[in-house]
Chains A and B, each alone.
Chain A
């Protein structure tokens, strides 16, 4: 049992490790001793003990007394370690610490006030942000700078707080102090506030303010500002040019699709060889993703074919690949030839990426298609699989046989890509595809290709009388993948023979085949059969497949079958039931989903919340705010994230109310991010 004397004695030991462990015991002590010992530990000579004390501070009670006692320590001028630890403890305590910090702000010396400001910035609340705005008038410049920096966190306290900070910071830019302006620009950038370019423009001539002013202009859609950013990309100082390019990239993204605005940047860059040289250098630097992505977009505006290989290289960089794809689409057909050249010598993964782009850029009958076809013979699966995917989009009748050679590949990625490509091409060219497999034996080695072709042709409306009998024979093939393909094809062929063959496959020894048969019954609209299966199936995974298939066959019956299962004990079944219920338009689905929010499995609860968010029902909103009180941290965090993206005036107060009570730092972060997302007007997703 822990008692004050023991902990106090251990906090006095010589060994810092013993003192650190003693600090861990403090929350178990009763008040007021716990508070005294907390302060002692916060002022320990060893940083590990101080850090441990700060981390346990949120668990020491009574909280109000702790907050004011720790806040008093901010005024201990000669105990730097204690003061820093006190700041950390108060930030970890969170919104409850704000009154203590505001109180300290009103009565401490300049150093103490600066620390109080740090607390208010670290635990942002509306009241705290108001106090930070007032602190911009402080007599001490260090306090003002800290307050300006702290206001960069205002978005985490909601829309009103962000607005207060925006107004205050923008007016600060009119002041004389350089350091305050620097801090304000940085904070406005954090708040993603667009500062009027007229205010930024004079700062571009100041060597110290130029970089932050350029960064603050990022995202602007004002033509004059875009031109200024493009010009600054040629700045002789690499760091300035880099920031200008990143800012320009943000503006290009904002203006994406608006040719007139993009042309402003393009014109400026075209006449500036130094700017293009800078863009090329940054586009080739994989260590700076922000600058690389931005420079790739900027180079695409210029459309110099010599830059295509540089942009193509970025296809292999996960961090900027989406920008590289967008840039290549902007180059259009112009990019094809350089891509082909680059693709010949590149590493397999990059070669595959270039092949994936070709169909989007070139007409189907040109040389690029030949390059894609040649790639089917490449030894690397990283080249063959993308080539097959490209052929799925642009392949013609001549590609049926070469693609079919890969459907049985031992590499699953190649096999699945080939099967998808064959199905896509056969649906476009059913007659030629059928001719290619005319002599196939349903029990032989070419049965997989034939089953895929017959299924694709049937789905395109080109059925043949012998399809059902061929495929019914193929469902007895020795290989499971052939049986599965045959079943999927029968689903498209339809008819009683197909149903009969599929039904028997429910007894297949391979799950993958039996599940395909269940799904096929859904496609064949066999609602009675599936409803009966739903009532008798015990295996949870299989039941999930049945429910989904029933949804496809008859949504109302699927709802009726799934409704009682949303609260069932087996998570796999409940999850499938929630998914089925959520995908229907039945009016009672909201009640069913609300029931699921009480499920013992957290993943089921999260699924239900996700589906509830889609319903836009008032009760759904209530359930989501209730989920902020859920026992599971994981669910609370998820609910906060969802609430960050749903419409409704009551959302922000609900999030704020929970923020004041939320014990988990992780969840608090999610709530603050949700508030920030709302205040920045992120679209519902």
Chain B
């Protein structure tokens, strides 16, 4: 049961239940992000300041603005920033990265030795830590020297993508990064004594772009990928958005291409189009070798 016992300070606009349903559906339709019945307070908190900035008196007016307003496109950018979660760090979920490094990369190196091309997509890359982690692991493996190697990073948030391009990170991004790895692949940032900057060699592999994963036009810009990382993103999407995003991934992967999800995510009840690939430390999804491009 959803309760709202405590309320806010009283002076600021409150998000009524009917407003919440409309706004929640609109956010889901536009961004694919799902807010359940327990998330009314969260949506209210995240968007409340936007009402003051836009000079609207209620969430109903804000809904109208997002739906029909002349500045709706700009406002969606702001709303997306506030509604997405940006929490991430380098070398997150190490067991999966070990599987990537020790099992998947040798497999892809063997499979692609004629074409000598490896494209990896970090979908929902936030501020870029995952994309650079992938680039570092690719470089450390030394399996792809002389290949056409690219790591694409995409995120819904414009600010996150800008931060990813900057490639400068503070201590919290390195919470599980071994010191030696940091010294090898990062240099002290010029502008901040506590921050580190990604070395040019890793930076050169990474290409970042702003992208709504529900936007076919944008996702086609990524091209065909050998591997897609989409970790801790599906969790925030509603069922239909999840289905659409996974269909996009299927379509963007080459036959035999691999999809890696977060440890708490699966394709159960989403699609049966992928095969399960059992690795020593992980289970990943693979587009069947016999599946052609659709």
Give the distance to chain A from B234, nearest Cβ to Cβ, in Å: 16
Say yes or no for A645: interface residue by CB 8 A criterion.
yes
Determine whether the beta carbon of A420 is less than 8 Å from that of B291: no
User: Does A509 touch B at the CB level, under 8 Å?
Assistant: no
Does B115 touch A at the CB level, under 8 Å?
no
A685 interface residue per 8 A CB criterion? yes
Q: Does A51 contact B (CB under 8 A)?
A: yes
What band does the interface of chain A fall in when counting residues whose beta carbon is under 8 Å from B?
35 or more
Name the segment of B20-28, B96-104, B149-157, B158-166 touching the other chain: B20-28
Is the CB of A540 closer than 8 A to any CB of chain B?
A: yes
A20 to B288, CA, bound (A): 11
**Hey, which chain B residues are within 8 Å of A417, CB to CB?**
49, 52
Prevailing SS type, chain A contact patch:
helix
- Chain B residue nearest to A540 in the complex (CB): B68
The one of B2, B22, B42 in contact with A319, judged by C-beta atoms closer than 8 angstroms, is B42
The answer to whether A253 and B1 touch across the interface, beta carbons within 8 angstroms, is no
Known contacts A318-B42, A511-B70; is-contact A603 B26 (Cβ 8 Å): yes
Which residues B29-59 have CB closer than 8 A to chain A? 29, 37, 41-42, 45-46, 49, 52-53, 55
CB 8 Å contact bits of A309-347 with B (1 = contact, 0 = none)? 000000000110111011000000000000000000000
Q: Which of B7, B11, B26, B64 has the most CB of A within 10 A?
A: B64
Say yes or no for B69: interface residue by CB 8 A criterion. yes
Q: Judging by beta carbons under 8 Å apart, are B45 and A321 in contact? A: yes
Q: When the two chains form their complex, are residues B240 and A685 in contact, meaning their CB atoms are under 8 A apart? A: no
Structural contact, A18 and B49, CB atoms closer than 8 A: no
B290 close to A322 (CB less than 8 A): no
A613 pairs with B18, CB closer than 8 A: yes
Q: How far is the CA of A420 from the CA of B5 in the complex (A)?
A: 27
Q: How far is the CB of A84 from chain B (nearest CB, A)?
A: 13
Interface residue? B171 (CB, 8 A) = no
Set A416, A614, A638, A666: member contacting B53, Cβ < 8 A: A416
Contact A541 B69 (CB under 8 A): yes
Chain A residues positioned under 8 Å from B11 (CB to CB) = 392-393
Given contacts A318-B45, A613-B18, A323 and B67 within 8 Å (CB-CB): no
Q: Contact: B22 with A575, CB < 8 Å? A: no
Contact between chains at A634 and B290 (CB < 8 Å): no
Q: How far is it, in angstroms, between the C-alpha of A14 and the C-alpha of B56 when the chains are bound? A: 62
* Chain A residue at smallest Cβ distance from B240: A666
What 0/1 pattern do residues 398 to 430 of A give for CB contact below 8 A with B?
Answer: 000000000000001101110010000000000
B64:A579 contact, CB within 8 angstroms:
yes
In the assembled complex, the Cα of A393 lies from the Cα of B21 at a distance in Å of 30
If A17-B290, A413-B53 touch, whether A685 touches B17 (CB-CB below 8 Å) is yes
List of A residues within 8 angstroms of B146 by Cβ: none
Docked CA distance A484–B291 (Å): 59
A580 to chain B, nearest CB (A): 11
Q: Please tell me if A26 contacts chain B, counting CB pairs below 8 Å.
A: no
Q: Does B60 contact A (CB under 8 A)?
A: yes
Q: How far is the CA of A666 from the CA of B240 in the complex (A)?
A: 9
- Residue in contact with B6 in the complex, picked from A325, A541, A607, CB distance below 8 Å: A325
Interface residues of A (CB under 8 A from B): 15-18, 20, 48-49, 51-52, 55, 192, 253, 256, 318-319, 321-323, 325-326, 356, 360, 385, 389, 392-393, 412-413, 415-417, 420, 484, 511-512, 540-541, 544, 571-572, 575-576, 579, 603, 606-607, 610, 613-614, 634, 638, 641-642, 645, 666, 673, 677, 680, 682, 685
| 6 further interface pairs, Cβ-Cβ under 8 Å (given A16-B288, A666-B239, A680-B1) | A17-B275, A318-B45, A321-B45, A322-B4, A575-B67, A576-B64
Chain B interface (Cβ < 8 Å from any Cβ of A): 1-9, 11-12, 16-18, 21-22, 25-26, 29, 37, 41-42, 45-46, 49, 52-53, 55, 60, 64, 67-71, 239-240, 272-273, 275, 288, 290-291
23 example contacts (A-B, Cβ-Cβ < 8 A) are as follows: A17-B275, A17-B290, A51-B272, A253-B5, A319-B42, A322-B7, A322-B8, A356-B9, A392-B11, A393-B9, A416-B49, A417-B52, A511-B70, A541-B68, A579-B64, A603-B22, A603-B26, A614-B18, A642-B18, A666-B239, A680-B1, A685-B17, A685-B18
